[in-house]
Amino acid sequence: MAPHADDSTDADVERIPAPSRPSMSANPPRILIIGAGSRGNAYAQATGTSTNGIVVAVAEPVPYKRQRFGETYIWGKTGPSEGQAFGDWKQFLAWEQERRAKAANGENVPEGVDAAFICVLDEMHKEVIVGLAPLGLHIMCEKPLATNLDDCISIYKSLLPSLPNTTPSKIFSIGHVLRYSPHNMLLRKLLLEDKVIGEIMSVNHTEPVGWWHFTHSYVRGNWRKESTTAPSLLTKSCHDIDVLLWLLCSPPPNTLQPAHVPSTVSSVGALQYFNKSRKPTAAGNATNCLSCPIEESCKYSAKKIYLGPKHKGLASGNTDWPVDIVVPEIEECIANSGLAGGEAAVMAKLSENYTSETPASEVASKNWFGRCVWESDNDVCDDQLVTMTWDNDPFPKANQDNEKALINRGAKTAVLHMVAHTKKICERFTHIYGSDGEIYADSENITVEDFNTGTKKIYKPFLAGGGHGGGDAGLARQFILAVDAVKNQGVAVEEAQREHVGCSLEEVVRSHAMVFAAEQARKGRQVVDFPSWWKQEVESVIARA
């Protein structure tokens, strides 16, 4: 039997209860959501079900999305009041600056917001964070922080303007939700605090994107081109790089140790399958599924994926992701014209096509969800491996007890495999090998094998609803708890950041920097010395700015 099999007949099984929702504050943190897409809705829902804060405003340029979001989370059927709905973040900024000026003059004004969740397109994050910096709001930014290293550093400096003093003035969090799922929080405790497998020696971690999910997001969708967004290692798997660094690099809880920074990073990967050379001959010159002679037999048929009963298509009764990405107003279409109206709206979107005469700029400017997956303009990797290594780095240096000096700071290796061609859809799984045992962790269970006793124990963390195994709810809860601690309990920002968010801005930048270093290694076919790379590409840039 595989070591990770869930066999309760020969293993001790422990079920972990759900985390409790914090008690609502008398003066709850007031939240603005910027961007009413799928991630903005996810955090709004999580705020309403799992935190002690309230969503009070939305900034969204698409009127239908803004109205639907507001009705669902803020104003119901009564319509927005002043200060609840904005066309974009700039409109909110102007309104808030005017509101504060009126308040300073003694005028009666609506109450402001304490914090903002930034859920706009990845490439807009820098503009929004830097633009809102003068307001001094607490910020949670959806991942990735930015789409290039320069923008990450600019954000870092805007939030810590007194560098090298790194004491924050406001709470900041990033949408690395994997840190906050009950599953991963328990996994980290077992590894770093309980030491159930001794010292970690090696980790194999897989991110199975999913064969049709990859085509939706990274062939036909927003994140298909590096030049307009970023590499898929950043847009999809910065989660995974971050959680590996959280387990292997970040200081263990309740310690004064510095980070155990990786020594090297290397990577291999490519766009292997979703390109014209793989197109079936029988498909001919078709560039759109609806005009393709093999549409009925092709598993990548957009008609099957978005309208069929499988893969969360409309026929399954699903009107959320991915259907509402194709037609954001799908629920309104169905309400007005029934299921047939919804199907017609989706078909109209899928029929949109381009020709050889269509300017490349126009092709690149929008998503074509009916396009042939072998005829797209996508260029991001559909398969990639990243290898990180650590050297022995005892702490403190003067400690003569070698065993204690190397606790959590010994040599180790971690491998991340991001792969598109999988049945699993983002159901990550990890094998961790230690000096005294091994762990297999999937999206449901954590199975521990003990070399010393020969015993096996299976942990079953609470499987929360919502996204990322409860990570969306966990991140929203912890961020808003930190805001509440500062707002209502007089806790210092740095203390609230450490206790509730559990991640510093430097850690955020480091995990993103690791992605960019890995991409440099992949493109240059080299092994990158990460500490040297960090000094040159990050520290020296900050020093010069």
Structural domains of the chain, count: 3
Residues 293 and 441 occupy one common structural domain: no
Give the model's confidence band at 465: pLDDT under 50 very low, under 70 low, under 90 confident, else very high: low
Calculate mean pLDDT across residues 312-325: 94
The verdict on residue 5 lying in a domain is: no
Task: Give Dmax over CA atoms of the chain in angstroms.
Answer: 76
Give the model's confidence band at 400: pLDDT under 50 very low, under 70 low, under 90 confident, else very high: low
The verdict on residue 224 lying in a domain is: yes
Residue 364 has pLDDT above 90, yes or no: no
Residues 101 and 116 occupy one common structural domain: yes
Residue 477 contacts residue 117 (beta carbons within 8 Å): no
Residues 408 and 446 occupy one common structural domain: yes
- State the CATH number of the domain containing residue 262: 3.30.360.10
Residues 241 and 281 occupy one common structural domain: no
Give the model's confidence band at 9: pLDDT under 50 very low, under 70 low, under 90 confident, else very high: low
What mean pLDDT is reported for the chain?
Answer: 93
Please, where are the H alpha helices in 375-454?
Answer: 402-405
Residue-wise pLDDT tens digits, 410-445: 999 999 999 999 999 999 999 999 999 999 999 889
Calculate mean pLDDT across residues 172-188: 94
Residues 202 and 337 occupy one common structural domain: no
3-state secondary structure labels for all residues of 448-479: EEECCCCCEEEEECCCCCCCHHHHHHHHHHHH
Q: Classify residue 285 by burial, with Cβ atoms within 10 Å: 0-12, 13-18, 19+.
A: exposed
Residues 210 and 322 occupy one common structural domain: no
The verdict on residue 471 lying in a domain is: yes
Residue 3 has pLDDT above 60, yes or no: no
| pLDDT recorded at residue 464 | 67
Query: What is the span of the domain harbouring residue 120?
Result: 17-178+466-503
Residue 463 has pLDDT above 80, yes or no: no
Helix axes 38-50, 471-489, angle to 10 degrees: 60
DSSP 3-state helix, strand, coil percentages of the chain (rounded to 5)?
Answer: 40, 15, 45
213/160: higher pLDDT: 213
Residue 464 contacts residue 181 (beta carbons within 8 Å): yes
Give the model's confidence band at 408: pLDDT under 50 very low, under 70 low, under 90 confident, else very high: confident
Helix axes 149-159, 125-132, angle to 10 degrees: 10
- State the CATH number of the domain containing residue 144: 3.40.50.720
| pLDDT recorded at residue 384 | 98
Residues 512 and 498 occupy one common structural domain: no
Residue 541 has pLDDT above 60, yes or no: yes
Cis peptide leading into residue 359 (ω within 30°): no
| pLDDT recorded at residue 363 | 86
In our burial notation (b when 16+ CB lie closer than 10 A, e otherwise), range 442-465 reads bbebbbbbbeeeeebbbbbbeebe
Residue 401 has pLDDT above 80, yes or no: no
Residue 245 contacts residue 507 (beta carbons within 8 Å): yes
Residue 2 has pLDDT above 50, yes or no: no
Residues 264 and 389 occupy one common structural domain: yes
Residues 88 and 145 occupy one common structural domain: yes
Question: What does residue 119 show for φ and ψ, rounded to 5 degrees?
Answer: -130, 35
The verdict on residue 310 lying in a domain is: yes
Residues 87 and 164 occupy one common structural domain: yes
Give the model's confidence band at 466: pLDDT under 50 very low, under 70 low, under 90 confident, else very high: low
The verdict on residue 238 lying in a domain is: yes
The verdict on residue 295 lying in a domain is: yes
Calculate mean pLDDT across residues 183-203: 95
Calculate mean pLDDT across residues 450-470: 84
Residues 171 and 53 occupy one common structural domain: yes
Residue-wise pLDDT tens digits, 334-347: 999 999 999 999 99
CA-based R_g, the chain, Å: 24
| Other residues' Cβ atoms within 10 Å of the Cβ of residue 395 | 18
Q: pTM of the full predicted structure?
A: 0.93
Cross-strand partners of 214: none
Residue 289 contacts residue 303 (beta carbons within 8 Å): yes
Residue-wise pLDDT tens digits, 41-72: 999 999 999 999 999 999 999 999 999 999 99
Calculate mean pLDDT across residues 515-544: 95
Give the model's confidence band at 357: pLDDT under 50 very low, under 70 low, under 90 confident, else very high: confident
Residue 403 contacts residue 248 (beta carbons within 8 Å): no
Least confident of 31-40, 155-164, 485-494: 155-164
The verdict on residue 422 lying in a domain is: yes
H or E element that contains 30: strand 30-34
The verdict on residue 130 lying in a domain is: yes
Residues 408 and 268 occupy one common structural domain: yes
